[in-house]
Structure 1
Amino acid sequence: MNVDQGDRPARHELLRIGGRSVAWVPPLVMLLAIAAIDFNTAGEFRMISWVVLVPGIAAAICGVWGTAVFAVLAQITYLLGDLAWPADYRSGLGDLVLVLVGGALAVLACAVRVRGEQRMLHMRDVADTTRRTVLRPLPPDWGGLDHAAVYLAADVEARVGGDFYDIQPGPHGTRLLVGDVQGKGLGAVEAAAALLGTFREVGYHEPDLRTVADRLETRMLRHRAHIKALGRGDVNRFATAVLLGFPRDAPGRLDVVIFGHEPPLIAGPDGVRHLPPGEGLPLGLGELAGGGPPPVHRVRLAPGETVLLTTDGVTEARDATGAFYPLAAEVTRAVAADPGIAAPGPLVAFVRDGTLRHCGGRLADDTTVFAVRRSGPDAVRMPF
């Protein structure tokens, strides 16, 4: 697998000038400073106490071969310094062996560190591949929709979680799904992948959005049955979600199905309005209602209005006092001050920055911000 250089946590990221590595400069400067101080202070300076640090510093920021070079240079510098003075200033074989052992241990430590970096790069590459599989990249104006999204994993190292979203164009219009699987870890990612796989198929083929909702509920139940048959403990997992439909033959209409999720906001030049809370239970719990999938609500969608969807990483973000992030109030205030913020890109950036600022950058849950609106007349048409 290829690893992007931008994702590589290499030791040289902060030690480059003009694209060239200068990781060798700090240990070299330290070695020269030690030699100069020892030369000018004679026996008053305990060179052994400092020269063993040089390969140690190189082990933290250089490669294995670079560390080995500095281990040899430290040994040579110590020998030259020890031989430069009369016999009463010489430290003897014991200190010489100490410098040798210190250099060897530094090389070993560097090799362990580099191996750990390579393993971390591999795991990060696996996580990125998983994320791209679950949250596939969306082309601009996909399905006749102008969209913007940001996904922030609470686990920075894992880089993937239980939030999911996708847009699926089809002959009956464009459908959109945003949701959040209960819990964390690979089990949540697995459930999200199962729901998205079903959505991509039925969202394309089914003419009725209610049928799409019913198939998603069935898929969640089937996934839980499979997990139970495997003997795993996360059999009670469920997912909150919002399913949207943009009919081809009704450009001023939005169809909405809410599965226990926070209802979307609609922002436009005329302000911000709230959609009513949904009546449906989360996916996987629909059997408790006993009445089939939740109803489809039809909402008027004026030209230029943007639908904003978020997961609970936004609505449940807390500040130092424990107060939740006031999403609706903040968006309303921002759009009133500058109607241009209602466009998908600026709106997503505003909510992302506001959430991170509110919680001080400490996300307690995976966070997704997704904004979408119908494209203008000059945009790319739907491929159907």
Structure 2
Amino acid sequence: MEKVAVSLDEVIPGMITAESIMPNEKQIILQKNTELTTNMIDLLKKWKIESIYVKYQQAAVSQAHIKKPLPVKSHQLRLTYPSLQKKYNQVAQISGNIFEHMRNMEYLPYDLFRQLIYPALYDLLDEPELLTRLYQLKPFMNDIHCHAVNVGLIAGLIGRWCGFKEPVVQSLILSGVMHDIGKTQIPPSILKKSTVHTLEEKEILKLHPFYGYYLIKSVPDAFPGIECAILQHHEREDGSGYPQGIKSAAIHPFAKIIAIADVYDTLTMSNDKKNLNLFSALEIIINKMFLKFDPDYCKIFVRNALHSLNRATVLLSDNTQADVLYFPCFMSAKPLLKRTTGASLDLNQTTSISIIDIISTSSCTAPS
């Protein structure tokens, strides 16, 4: 499709950029082939962009593929959520573009995160049972930048579950999305190395909280607390973390929440053979609740996460299915199950059978 120059006043959501949009020679606002949203168009107006090149695509055509069932790459009975996946992929792409643009640059395009990424993630918080739905979209998360989006979403969920008001939730979302922003200053040869890192390389990787802190400190209007979250998200309650090795009282609340979201997502979301299902990941979080993580935030996170798994249908290690009835033990991710035969099975009372995967949750419905 040929590119067409369109006045910004005539640009509508659903159009596709035919060229990267650059207000100057050094900065890219949006990459080529980006599907425009209302927030993006508003941002372009703030940058005083008068016209852009687009591949025009009517909104109806652009939205048509949302209703098509997506190919399932994991367990054949697992359901997916096309509308959620489309929204998720869009914000992950934008986030990835910003991260790639920042590589080896010495400034942080904070307004792009605040005006583009935050509104999209805040809207996604309204998705029912978002935590389990993100897990079921895991097979489609092929970009390393998905981790930043996931941590932002999970941190926002924890903020809501804590009863925080929107400005605090906004700061948590931005803290989560930008928590690893310092990695843009680390050489790709180290960051993307597929083999085991040397001790020297590991020490360089551990500098990313400092790099991120210096980047966010250069932003005069950044929300309070974000700089601490970026600097301290690898600190631990017992002082065993890095880069400063500080203990509980010295760690900012935002950093404590990001730490939980970061570890949980690493355990469950990345495309790696070591990934765990939600139950196993939550059990690890529970076991580290008093030594590594803030127990109060952990309890809130675990309680709400387990609640979202009530009535889920799971695949067991003996290749049978069962439904989650409830969690009989306080702060345990091992549920009481009802097998398809009608028999009950308490995973707290056995070590021979475990949960392998989640097939569906209580609110799962097939895509329309």
Same fold (TM over 0.5): no
The structure with more radius of gyration: 1
TM normalised by structure 2 equals: 0.29
Q: Which has the higher strand share?
A: 1
